[in-house]
Structure 1
Amino acid sequence: MTAAPAGLDDPRVAAVLDEIARTAEKSDREVMERAYATAADWPQPPTAQEAAELCAQAALPVHPQVGTFLYQLVRSLRPALVVEFGTSFGASTIYAAAALRDNRHGRIIGSELHPGKAARAHDHLARAGLDAWTEIRIGDAREQLADLPGSIDLLLLDGWKELYLPVLKVLEPALRAGTLIVSDNLPMLPPEFTDHVRTAGNGYLSQQLPLGDGVELSLRL
């Protein structure tokens, strides 16, 4: 008899997700307030690299509603390749990788600009028992995700918001008809990005979903 899928109730998965959530609850607000205060005196807005350094201790996990949605999508779509921009401490990666494990199929390739965050994500994935389904590439996502082993079935955008559109444009050649793009933190997204995925003729069908603080779900046509 085949064992039932472990799901999100797997004790190892649940424990690591809870640990990340408690870390975020304890320190994310303080880290982000300090980061904003530091950057406020700069003559120019911080670059992605500078922002990564300022926010290196912030977990910034996806809302559990968004994480559960990712798990549901992966279980349903049975993707061969999931790609993630903005791994951070690995919470969203864990939700997707748990579904890949339960599907017994596919892999997720994530990207994280800050090496320290990538190391923490690796540790979290290993302790959740999901590292066999994952790969985290360290560096600028526009470079690290430019070479992929196949077409993208599901894309999660959850990194530096000003890079959503540049990253998406790098990845567009790897999108197939039917690829889904989940873009988190809708209120923070630049209008250039939302205009791109909502404008007729650009190859997407897109709508807002009331999950977490808002998600843009886009279908590649």
Structure 2
Amino acid sequence: MTHTNTLADPRVETALSRMFALAEQDEATAARLGGLTPESTPHQELADIAAGIYMPISAEGGKLLYNLVRAIRPATVVEFGMSFGISTLYLAAAVRDNGTGRVVTTEMSKEKIAEARRTFAETGLDDLITVLEGDARETLADLEGPLELVLLDGWKDLCLPVLRQLEPLLRPGALVVADDVDQGEGLLKPYLDYVRDPANGYRCVTFPIEDGMEISCRL
């Protein structure tokens, strides 16, 4: 029996190594934000200012996402907040190895989208990835379900609105993963309060990888 592992593909390994190395400069690049927040600045403007910031998922977080997708075998994976596409590569690699499914991802920055599309083509995963440009609350409006896995890694104050929008499409047993739980306590608090309230139909666990990942199962 042949076991495929697209993460071991030299094209994917090279792309991930390159992007993780560039992401190490994020702290210096982020100084351009100058303390701007979604409360003071429109999300699109923030996205344009942050066009050079990778804001990546951790390598361990990426591996966890890969394993979740392999286990669930979702027909559709939705990602809110693609950035340069590091997490998207992990998701798409898992979809490729499952032999079925697709990844629908969202991003506001035109610069990041252009760069990510080049990377997806270089890695041979572009045929599995649909990139939606603009505000996810608008671009995901016509998405069809059912959905089995959703990654929320965009602007933290939008995680709850995006989840509520996608909620009718989640099948029982679907997983919703939110990144940077510890780092984003403030802006992410409404989201965490919502999914951790049993009355809203989720069972949650906080996974201690890097800045924390909240994994919520739709009951």
Relative to the length of structure 2, the TM-score reads 0.94
Please provide the CA RMSD for this pair.
Answer: 1.6
Aligned residues of 1:125 and 1:131 also touching (Cα < 8 A): yes
Equivalent residues in 2 for 1:172-187, closer than 5 Å: 172-187=167-182
1:197 is aligned to 195
Any unmatched runs of 5+ in structure 2?
Answer: none
Matched, 1:7 2:2: no
2:28 is aligned to 30
Q: 1:57 aligns with which of 52, 56, 59?
A: 52
Any unmatched runs of 5+ in structure 1?
Answer: none
- For residues 130 and 124 of structure 1, what CA distance do their matches in structure 2 show? 9
Shift of 1:147: 1.3
Shift of 1:139: 0.4
1:118 is aligned to 113
Number of residue-to-residue matches in the alignment: 216
- For residues 174 and 209 of structure 1, what CA distance do their matches in structure 2 show? 24
1:65-109 per-position Cα deviation (integer Å, ceiling 9, x unaligned): 110001001111111000000000000000010011111100000
2:100 is aligned to 105
Matched, 1:96 2:91: yes
Matched, 1:212 2:207: no
Shift of 1:200: 1.6
Shift of 1:142: 0.5
Shift of 1:46: 2.0
1:91-128 per-position Cα deviation (integer Å, ceiling 9, x unaligned): 00000100111111000000001111111111111111
- For residues 180 and 87 of structure 1, what CA distance do their matches in structure 2 show? 18
- For residues 163 and 170 of structure 1, what CA distance do their matches in structure 2 show? 11
Matched, 1:165 2:188: no
Q: Secondary structure at the match of 1:88?
A: coil
- For residues 197 and 15 of structure 2, what CA distance do their matches in structure 1 show? 39
Q: Secondary structure at the match of 1:192?
A: helix
- For residues 101 and 147 of structure 1, what CA distance do their matches in structure 2 show? 25
Q: Secondary structure at the match of 1:201?
A: helix
Q: Secondary structure at the match of 1:61?
A: coil
Aligned residues of 1:17 and 1:91 also touching (Cα < 8 A): yes
Q: Secondary structure at the match of 1:137?
A: strand
- For residues 21 and 71 of structure 2, what CA distance do their matches in structure 1 show? 29
1:169-216 per-position Cα deviation (integer Å, ceiling 9, x unaligned): 111111111110010000204211100000121011112110121011
Aligned residues of 2:101 and 2:128 also touching (Cα < 8 A): yes
Aligned residues of 1:81 and 1:109 also touching (Cα < 8 A): yes
2:17 is aligned to 18
Q: Secondary structure at the match of 1:122?
A: helix
